[in-house]
Structure 1
Amino acid sequence: MSAVAGHGVTDVHAHLLMPGLHAEVERRVPEEVQAAADLELRRNGLASLQASGRMIGERFPRLTSVEARLAAMDAQGVDTQWVSPSPNHFYPWAGEGLATWTTGEANRLVAEHVAQAPDRLVGLGTVPLQHPHLVVDALDDAVLGRGLAGVEISSFAGDVELSDERLEAFWARAAELRAVVFLHPFGCSLDERLDRFYLSNTVGQPTENAVALSHLIFSGVLDRHPGLRLVAAHGGGYLPTAIGRSDRAWKVRPEAHGCAHAPSTYLSKLWFDTVVHDERALRWLVEAAGADRVLLGSDFPFDMGLDDPVGFVRGAGLAAAEVDGILGRNADELMRTRVHA
């Protein structure tokens, strides 16, 4: 093991690309896939889509092959990865029938992938967030049917925000199962305003994280479901370092008083990965949420991830005990008491 005694290094933010799944979706609904591609072009701009295509092509083995994944993990000094679907597999536009099939197939493929190295890989599935009445069954399929540790969700899907009352049964079931819910945006509703300079990612992703977490906090979801194990990608975006503005709104605005306590108090009820790209930001995150709520993440193997996630944490100027927790102990404790299939 690469971290402290009794704990290996765990990367909670790593992805799996499932080309066969996407090919079948294209075969079934080519017009809808084209419409989704047109939206991506509008949101990202041609230059970014072309650069992303080249990047994915270069990293394709690490996105699909267990052998390539394990070799890369060894090079990074990572013992365990939590593997979640590449967010392009959310298909938030899919109708009920297709969405049921894609989520079930994604859960199956993730389970098959991690089963090839069960001592080193942990799987997270997905749910059709745009169809709230289907998400509990999809969660059960992932956790109880496939033995996955939880599911990955986007920041919104269609007209469904994370504060939507129709998701109450999902949050309750996730808490009951003690399943990990990994919040990872795909796409930003600011659309064409971010269609150049790769703003769709550099600004869009942290914005979506902050908006989604704010929906959860201000709507009282975390009050009603205190057992939720929600991990936010990208360090929670802008929210942890701008949480004072949320506290002010909660104090002075009646419509912002849907949660029982000041918004900043909920940061210590969530978990955050380390994909913040700035040592100062990592220190601020630790100060805002607590070192025990921060987990090593890399966004493996995409180019906007951390090439040396362990070195990044070790070089951030944190206390040794804080580093040890972030590298592995916190993730181990989060997993220890989850419900197994």
Structure 2
Amino acid sequence: MSAERSVTVDVHAHVLLPSLQAGVEQRAPELVAEAAALELRRNGAESLKINGGMIGSRIGKLTDIHARLADMDEQGVDTQWVSASPNHFYPWAPEGIAVWAAGEANRLIAEHVAHAPDRLIGLGLVPLQHPDRIVEYLDDAVLGRGLAGVEISSFAGDVELSHPGLEPFWARAAELGCVVFLHPFGCSLDERLDRFYLSNTVGQPAENAVALSHLIFSGVLDRHPGLRLVVAHGGGYLPLSIGRSDRAWTARPEARGCEHPPSSYLRKLWFDTVVHDPIALRRLVETVGGARVLLGSDYPFDMGLDDPLAFVRSADLPNEIVDRIVGANARALLDAKVRA
């Protein structure tokens, strides 16, 4: 690490856990088959075939610590926050499989980051579709395994992020001061996005926007102001179209579940830089503030940023804001967790 520059932190990077996948397949082969059918319906055969080749070519990057560290050095990234590849969420799984998978993911992620504790920070998993068990596995991740927080999807089955059963989870996450990283897996639009890779290009930002809207309009952020929620993909469509949400809050009584205009809550969250467009990154900074944007790459997937630092610098932001985005904001967020 150079003493002449700030420490850089990538908050959006993934790890693949083959032994976890094998364990789920062994315990519930019929459910794995159902999940595969759902993936085919959502993504289409062409995208699934390409995904298989893309992931296959990146297995080393997703599993081997030496490959990860070498890529980080090449990118100029000093620290990565490592979270599970979203295919490990298992939102279709019944309670027994779901809780086993969450606990095993927490163990494996902790083992992975322990190989380079000065470079890697881990985020675990919780069984989102089983709210009665979610606090238990949040504690397992943060207190039991020493992880910085957990990664969650935008929804799981019939559990939206506004679900009343998640109130204990939000309260506990705020109490622990841990990171909650919101990263979608799949999109509820299903077959409408099964071609042209719309399942990702449209589906991911749409899911981010829907999930954040559930959190905001339901008052979750009013009730739990201490939440440290980091949102992948720059929050999707919501930060760029938040004016429509504010209008609904003003005009529609059923949209008044939150105390303040929806736009005010964006400055209480954190967002990564995986937006692929320098203009969109500038708009994100204008909307949420320079202290609320964090460097992300989506390493090592093909829809990520190959050179995340160069992308941030291409947005023509003030040097002070760039320094915050590429490292200072993430370090401050974790420092606040330590003090909590």
TM bin, normalised by shorter chain, reads over 0.9
**Do residues 330 (structure 1) and 329 (structure 2) align?**
yes
State the SS of the aligned residue for 1:125: strand
**Do residues 251 (structure 1) and 250 (structure 2) align?**
yes
CA RMSD of aligned residues (A): 1.2
Flag the 1:12–1:3 CA change in 2: closer, same or farther, 3 A: farther
> Structure 1 CA distance, aligned partners of 2:119 and 2:7?
10
**Do residues 194 (structure 1) and 193 (structure 2) align?**
yes
Deviation at 1:337, TM superposition (A): 2.5
State the SS of the aligned residue for 2:12: strand
Q: Which residue of the partner structure matches residue 235 of structure 2?
A: 236
Deviation at 1:96, TM superposition (A): 0.9
Q: Which residue of the partner structure matches residue 61 of structure 2?
A: 62
State the SS of the aligned residue for 2:229: strand
Alignment size in residue pairs:
340
Q: Which residue of the partner structure matches residue 36 of structure 1?
A: 35
> Structure 2 CA distance, aligned partners of 1:61 and 1:146?
24
State the SS of the aligned residue for 1:151: strand
Given residue 302 of structure 1, which amino acid in structure 2 is its aligned partner?
F
Gaps of 5+ in 2: none
Q: Which residue of the partner structure matches residue 134 of structure 2?
A: 135
Instruction: Give CA deviations for 1:200-259 in whole Å, capped at 9, x if unaligned.
Output: 000000000000000000000000000000000000000000000000000010000000
Q: Which residue of the partner structure matches residue 156 of structure 1?
A: 155
Instruction: Decide whether the 8 Å contact of 1:3 with 1:9 is kept in 2.
Output: no
Q: Which residue of the partner structure matches residue 314 of structure 2?
A: 315
Instruction: Decide whether the 8 Å contact of 1:177 with 1:339 is kept in 2.
Output: no
1:54-203 superposed matches below 5 A: 54-203=53-202
Normalized against structure 1, the TM-score is what?
0.98
Deviation at 1:2, TM superposition (A): 5.6
Given residue 41 of structure 2, which amino acid in structure 1 is its aligned partner?
R
Instruction: Give CA deviations for 1:286-319 in whole Å, capped at 9, x if unaligned.
Output: 0000010000000000000000000000111100
Gaps of 5+ in 1: none
Q: Which residue of the partner structure matches residue 216 of structure 2?
A: 217
Deviation at 1:100, TM superposition (A): 1.1
Deviation at 1:27, TM superposition (A): 1.0
> Structure 1 CA distance, aligned partners of 2:38 and 2:339?
39
Instruction: Give CA deviations for 1:15-35 in whole Å, capped at 9, x if unaligned.
Output: 010011101111111110000
Bigger drift between 193-202 and 22-31 goes to 22-31
Q: Which residue of the partner structure matches residue 52 of structure 1?
A: 51
Segments of 4+ moved more than 3 angstroms: 1-5
Report % sequence identity.
Answer: 74
State the SS of the aligned residue for 1:109: helix
**Do residues 278 (structure 1) and 277 (structure 2) align?**
yes
> Structure 2 CA distance, aligned partners of 1:182 and 1:140?
15
Q: Which residue of the partner structure matches residue 302 of structure 1?
A: 301
